[in-house]
Structure 1
Amino acid sequence: MTSRKRKALSIAEKLEILRKYDENIVMKQSELADSLGIPGSTLRTILNNRKEIEENAKQTGGKRMKLRAGKFEELEDILMKWFLQARATNIPINGPVLREKATEIARKLHVSDEFTASNGWLDRCRKRHGIVYRQISGESESADKSCVSTWLTNVLPPLIHKFLPKDVFNADEFGLFFKLMPDKSFVYKDEKCSGGKLSKERLTVLLCANSDGSEKLPPLVIGKSVKPRCFKNVKRLACEYRAQCKAWMTGELFSTWLQDLDPSMIQKNRKILLIINNCPAHPKDVSFSNVQVEFLPAIQPVVLSH
């Protein structure tokens, strides 16, 4: 298989790609990338940098040939994939963490002699990829109501009309901080209200159920340990358990979960629709015979900034 040659896209070309994406929101990203003749990673980068591209277009009239790429483009591509995955699980990422991860990637790419994760590099990298640093609040960013309305009116009905309610499933993950103490307590009026260090030990749990509530799939639980001591002498679990070094959902774990789900539906001679959020840990280029995977619109952009 021959690899595509990288092409420097102008601002105007990137705007055209964004326009075609908006017009074909039902189409899978991998299919759209193929129809445009660009790698899927290029399309994802353009979508992630939409705001920066549109701002540059206003300033330059779309005539500038390209946004300047970094010298270590492969390193930054890998770093951004890791960054998106980390933010998808709501893990706070700051400058030192990004620099440390970049240094680790440089070692694996054997470019550590040339690459220095300096503050200057970090500033330039953030500008290239539209990353900002913000205060984390308790609530997620508000969704684009027009985007939601369009998806609910024009996209969702054609998807579900071929399926019975019992065959339309939705899945989502959440972080379970199982050692986290309550953040409120009864205290004496004159007592100083303070607590100890908050535990950051967590599990990731994926839950999946159908739209009429008649069926719930076994939960998928992701922990750090391959063989937790608490599982000793346990012959059967009420869930599926997988291990990942940070207890995060990854593209590989999600794909494996789908690959296990599809044969079970084949065995039941049943076809289902699975609707899931547009998360970096959920690979888009998946296809199965009895499980049709569709993604919610990307209505909550992931950003960090000043």
Structure 2
Amino acid sequence: MRRSHEEAPSMTQGQLAVWAKREFKLIAAPVQNTISDILINAAKIKNEAYGDKRRRKPVKATSAALESGLNAWVARVESKNVNINRMVLAEKAQQLQKIGWLTRFLDRHDMRFRIKKGEAFTRRSGHVLQDELGLYEPNNVFNMDEAGLCYNRTPVGDICPGTSLKTRITVAFCANADGSEMLPLLYIGRAFKPRCLKKTGKEHGFNYEKN
């Protein structure tokens, strides 16, 4: 209808209504208000929101966030040469919709996900750990921990510009529950073969690994 009006600007809206009834095989001719709305909104009809040229009405997305997220996901998957069918696309849309609903729900009720900490959580997790460790002999239960060794700092304090020296290496300790066995210390640094050692840690008689 818009194209016909552009090709024949002298046609009245009544004539356009008759033409539309004949062209689209309508039961009744469109009323004048419908013709007027189509001509006024001609620019919107050209918009991508109307999809292909066979559509007579614009197809609006029910959720802009879902539409954007699904479109981005399809682009990422297609870039990896992965084929997508309608079922996979529908499942992904449902997944994104659920995630979006959950996010909005948390925001509405001012809820946040937080990692449990504190005495109560430590007590519960400690009981579970004790039950598991009870299945083994103490000499077969080992615990490992680490500490930072700031080898550039003086025992009491030091004078330095701005912040204190924090250059360090990591030292790992490991021993069994009854203290009958203590594994050799493990030193962890940044360099594969530090210049100060000149040789490997194994050649010096201690364990050294690069982080």
TM-score normalized by the length of structure 2 = 0.43
- Structure possessing the higher radius of gyration over alpha carbons: 2
Higher relative contact order (CA 8 A, sep 6+): 1
